[in-house]
């Protein structure tokens, strides 16, 4: 009680200041900074370089802090930041105050007592913590019992996020990638020979012969993945741990959304404070970097299937509204700062924008992820997500649009089969003669959701995907199991009913081909059907377009899809965790082999109608207008 009273804070005010794990999660990651401390012997302030790595222990309220000092390698230790269950204590220190600063950082002041100084005198301690995306500090002040004044004992000041990896650490991680790909990656040699794969790894080993920052290794590892030419192989944006996301993912986002059209960045939505920027304006440069330079760099980390996936790779660079949701990420948000910003969390952006024939320089502040989503919702409306991305919209009395924005159904709150039935009962009872099915900007997801939709688009049973499902492995080496995770542990079991083929795959003994027949639903649509596609369609939506076209269910309008008719890899995925860099990458397990030789390209529409810069300027949906004005009589 003495300590609380002497500092002038009552129990009631303290009880309201509760600390949560989310406060400390802001600083999870690796930091470089300076330790300033008072040397009691010389009574002088001493400064030394200091590094710290902070990781949360599971989902607990405890965080491990590993302290190292670059110029004193023999000095290192680990300690813990632990929040009490009631949130009133941090490291057995009572919470004195908690404030959210103007820049969003969280300042927490705690108090405790103990002994300090060379003669170990009784003392009161006051600790000031600042937890922020771009800053972590811890200051200790001391008040010897019987004295009124406080003095600063030490301060850790970290303001630069970085983690350096040694050559040995990187080589160990690359060795694990190589061993995993050669053991289990389904499509490793679909578009590359063994000699090419070996060369890629030798080039990688050359590049990591000197220590480098984690961000550089992240880029190199991403570029290595892209050489496989597999749309399901990449250093995951989603499954990386918080320590990677905090270290490498910028907290500052572009205030514009754009589409890549004819190798140009065409603005679709303006979330900045500059109202002079309009939809259809072209971004010519960002922070002094020309768009061609930006595209050339981002293409090296943009995934697609096959040799002819440039349209998909360019599409990946676009920022669409559906990537703004808080749990989603897009390629540009992650890699533009890594390639082109020294400080990934630098706040200001400078743009050169072409509006009509007029060029203008625009300087804007970047946005936080939350602010970007809030501004979009305020200015343009709520972004349909999950089950909300499935909806119908009448075009006119004869035509209805069915929008399908996502097939990732695993966390949905409704039964999509019941929903589909109610939708098509309504469509049929309303007497619509034309149905437009829109799967643009839908990359894929669950095959059963795709097949359920297709069952309402056919009047007779149709053949779904006609492929053989092949595996690279019969069993997984024990040395790799510790690094592999997935949603179904059955993927790790030995393939006891599989035999080795001449091409080095493992095929089920009784498998000739996997042909899934999709039945016709009694409530199927009976009029004309138009399917709108684009380059985003590359997994379940690519195969949907393929099935739709092969079975002649209607007319396809729009752009060539992503994916490849030679087959894609996927269906089952391992999440490969690399212990030194702490990065995660997706490794597909099933090689989908078409029964007959097919072209290495996506699905071509019956009518190729591309979106133009003028379409965006005029808020024109070129594909829907083509269908309603040119095809529907």
Read off φ and ψ for residue 334, nearest 5 degrees.
-85, -45
Q: What share of the chain is helix, strand, coil (3-state, %, to 5)?
A: 25, 35, 40
pLDDT of residue 164: 87
Other Cβ atoms less than 10 A from the Cβ of 633: the count is 5
pLDDT of residue 513: 55
524 alpha carbon, distance to own chain's centre: 36
Q: Which residues pair with 573 in a beta bridge?
A: 588
Q: Model confidence over 411-445: pLDDT tens digits?
A: 898 899 999 999 999 999 999 999 999 999 999 99
Q: 236, 344 in Cβ contact below 8 A?
A: no
User: Using CA atoms, how far apart are residues 463 and 389, in angstroms rounded to an integer?
Assistant: 27
User: Using CA atoms, how far apart are residues 501 and 504, in angstroms rounded to an integer?
Assistant: 5
Q: H helices of 301-368, where?
A: 310-317, 331-340
Determine the Cα angle at 330 with ends 325 and 334, to 5°: 115
Nearest to 141, CA basis, from 121, 120, 113: 113
- List the helix and strand counts (H, then E) for the chain: 17, 32
pLDDT of residue 12: 35
pLDDT of residue 514: 59
Buried/exposed code over 288-323 (b: 16+ C-beta within 10 A; e: otherwise): ebebeebbebbbebbbbbbebbebbbbbbbbbbbbb
Alpha-carbon dihedral sign for residues 322, 324, 326, 328 = positive
Which ranges in the chain are annotated with CATH 2.40.128.20?
Answer: 2-161
User: Using CA atoms, how far apart are residues 49 and 63, in angstroms rounded to an integer?
Assistant: 22
Q: 226, 300 in Cβ contact below 8 A?
A: yes
Nearest to 105, CA basis, from 86, 129, 139, 76: 129
- The CATH class of the 165-380 domain is mainly beta
Determine the Cα angle at 550 with ends 548 and 555, to 5°: 50
Read off φ and ψ for residue 331, nearest 5 degrees.
-60, -45
Which ranges in the chain are annotated with CATH 3.90.226.10?
Answer: 384-461+519-563+601-633
Residues of the chain with confidence (pLDDT) below 70 = 1-16, 512-514
Token pair of 335, please? Answer: 């890699």
Which ranges in the chain are annotated with CATH 2.30.42.10?
Answer: 165-380
Q: 133, 345 in Cβ contact below 8 A?
A: yes
User: Using CA atoms, how far apart are residues 541 and 598, in angstroms rounded to an integer?
Assistant: 18
Q: 631, 558 in Cβ contact below 8 A?
A: no
Q: Which residues pair with 613 in a beta bridge?
A: none
pLDDT of residue 13: 38
**Whether CATH 2.40.128.20 fits 2-161:** yes
Q: What is the DSSP letter of 631?
A: I
CATH numeric code, 384-461+519-563+601-633: 3.90.226.10
Token pair of 113, please? Answer: 């007592």
User: Using CA atoms, how far apart are residues 113 and 93, in angstroms rounded to an integer?
Assistant: 9
Collapsing DSSP to helix, strand or coil, 581 comes out as: coil
Region for 533 from its dihedrals, namely left if φ exceeds 0, alpha if ψ lies in -120 to 50, beta otherwise? beta
Q: Which residues pair with 107 in a beta bridge?
A: 99, 130
Token pair of 501, please? Answer: 């083929």
Nearest to 246, CA basis, from 131, 350, 324: 131
pLDDT of residue 312: 97
């Amino acid at each position: 009680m003495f300590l609380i009273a002497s500092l002038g804070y009552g129990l009631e005010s303290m009880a309201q200041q509760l600390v949560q794990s989310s406060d400390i999660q802001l600083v999870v990651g690796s930091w470089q900074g300076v330790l300033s401390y008072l040397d009691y012997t010389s009574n002088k302030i001493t400064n030394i370089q200091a590094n710290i790595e902070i990781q949360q222990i599971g989902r607990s309220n405890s965080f491990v802090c590993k302290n190292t000092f670059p110029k004193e390698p023999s000095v290192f230790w680990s300690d813990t930041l632990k929040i009490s269950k009631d949130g009133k204590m941090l490291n057995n220190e009572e919470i004195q105050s908690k404030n959210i600063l103007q820049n969003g950082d969280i300042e927490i002041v705690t108090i405790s007592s103990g002994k300090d100084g060379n003669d170990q005198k009784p003392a009161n301690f006051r600790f000031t913590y600042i937890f922020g995306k771009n800053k972590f500090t811890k200051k200790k002040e001391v008040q010897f019992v019987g004295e009124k004044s406080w003095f600063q004992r030490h301060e850790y000041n970290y303001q630069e996020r970085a983690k350096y990896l040694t050559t040995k650490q990187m080589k160990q991680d690359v060795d694990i990638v190589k061993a995993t790909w050669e053991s289990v990656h389904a499509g490793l040699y679909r578009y590359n020979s063994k000699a090419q794969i070996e060369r890629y790894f030798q080039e990688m080993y050359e590049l990591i012969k000197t220590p480098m920052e984690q961000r550089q290794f992240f880029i190199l590892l991403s570029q290595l993945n892209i050489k496989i030419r597999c749309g399901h192989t990449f250093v995951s944006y989603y499954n990386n741990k918080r320590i990677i996301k905090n270290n490498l993912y910028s907290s500052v986002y572009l205030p514009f959304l754009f589409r890549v059209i004819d190798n140009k960045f065409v603005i679709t939505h303006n979330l900045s404070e500059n109202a002079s920027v309009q939809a259809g304006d072209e971004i010519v440069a960002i922070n002094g970097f020309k768009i061609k330079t930006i595209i050339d760099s981002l293409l090296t980390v943009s995934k697609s299937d096959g040799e002819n996936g440039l349209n998909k790779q360019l599409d990946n660079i676009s920022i669409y509204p559906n990537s703004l949701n808080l749990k989603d990420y897009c390629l540009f948000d992650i890699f533009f700062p890594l390639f082109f910003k020294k400080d990934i969390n630098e706040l200001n952006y400078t743009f050169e924008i072409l509006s009509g024939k007029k060029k203008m320089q625009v300087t804007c502040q970047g946005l936080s992820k939350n602010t970007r989503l809030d501004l979009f919702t305020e200015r343009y409306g709520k972004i349909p997500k999950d089950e909300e991305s499935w909806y119908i919209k009448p075009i006119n009395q004869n035509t209805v649009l069915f929008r399908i924005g996502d097939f990732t159904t695993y966390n949905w709150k409704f039964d999509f089969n019941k929903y589909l039935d109610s939708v098509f009962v309504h469509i049929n009872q309303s007497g619509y003669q034309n149905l437009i099915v829109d799967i643009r900007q839908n990359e894929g997801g669950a095959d059963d959701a795709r097949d359920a939709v297709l069952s309402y688009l056919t009047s007779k049973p149709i053949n779904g995907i006609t492929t053989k499902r092949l595996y690279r492995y019969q069993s997984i080496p024990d040395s790799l199991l510790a690094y592999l995770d997935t949603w179904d542990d059955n993927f790790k079991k030995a393939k006891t009913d599989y035999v080795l083929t001449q091409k080095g795959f493992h095929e089920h003994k009784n498998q000739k081909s996997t042909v899934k027949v999709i039945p016709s639903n009694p409530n199927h649509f009976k009029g004309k059907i138009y399917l709108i596609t684009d380059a985003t369609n590359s997994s379940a939506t690519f195969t949907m377009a393929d099935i739709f076209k092969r079975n002649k269910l209607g007319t396809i309008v729009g752009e060539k899809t992503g994916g490849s008719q030679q087959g894609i890899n996927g269906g089952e995925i391992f999440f490969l965790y690399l212990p030194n860099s702490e990065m995660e990458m997706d490794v597909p397990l099933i090689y989908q082999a078409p029964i007959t030789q097919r072209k290495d390209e996506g699905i071509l529409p019956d009518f190729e109608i591309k979106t133009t810069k003028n379409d965006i300027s005029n808020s024109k949906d070129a594909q829907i207008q083509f269908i309603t004005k040119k095809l529907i009589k």
